[in-house]
Amino acid sequence: QAYNCLIHFYKRNAMTDLIPTPADCLYAACYCEENVYKLIEKLSKEHPECLASTWAVFISNSGRCVPLWSQKAGRDEDGLVVWDYHVILLHRTDSQTLVYDLDTRLPFPAQFSLYCESTFGSEEQIQPNFHRMFRVVPGTEYLSSLSTDRRHMRKEQEWLQTPPSWPCIRGMEQEEHNLDKFISMDDEAGLGTVLNLKTFIEKFS
């Protein structure tokens, strides 16, 4: 299974690439949780043998204030943006972990070590209230669990950002909106595993 997955990943033509180029991905600015959902959804249909080695990763903290560098939305040369949360896709092969982030200035995909160094830096250089935490959710669970009606992007019936062109995601039929459970870094609530930067890097290096 891992061998077949690796073959799929490294063939460089449109029919067998694991994930298309950014230009060919579904994307809506400021809806990173949905962008990643759509990437995993595409993967589940076209390369289901690789889904077991794929994770959605929410990056946030208790104050919902996390600095990330090398972001396209950054106004300065270093690409610094302080997000309330961000979501990326990880895919692990036999030899490496790759990061798929449609909002980064780095390559797509980026090597895990390069992404971490360029995007997170060191916690020693920033105040504790800005330390990043990571909720790591297996791809299959993410597809069957995320539901969002995009209420977090509306204020007084107006959109804060233009919504995606696709319908609202309803992975969990019993809930219309459970995004906060994924953003929360309470280890006893929500799906997946919550890690700090050190343990996150150790797990996927």
Q: Which of 5, 47, 91, 101 is catalytic?
A: 101
**101 is an active site residue:** yes
**168 is an active site residue:** no
What span, in angstroms and rounded, lies between the C-alpha atoms of 15 and 43?
12
Other Cβ atoms within 10 Å of 104 Cβ, number: 24
- Angstrom CA distances, 164 to 39, 41, 123, 138, 143, stand at 14, 15, 33, 23, 17
What span, in angstroms and rounded, lies between the C-alpha atoms of 146 and 124?
33
Q: Which of 5, 47, 50, 86 is catalytic?
A: 86
Q: Which helix (H) or strand (E) holds 87?
A: strand 86-92
Q: At what angle do helices 197-204 and 112-119 cross, to 10 degrees?
A: 160
Residue with tokens 């069957």: 144
**32 is an active site residue:** yes
Catalytic residue ranges: 32, 86, 101
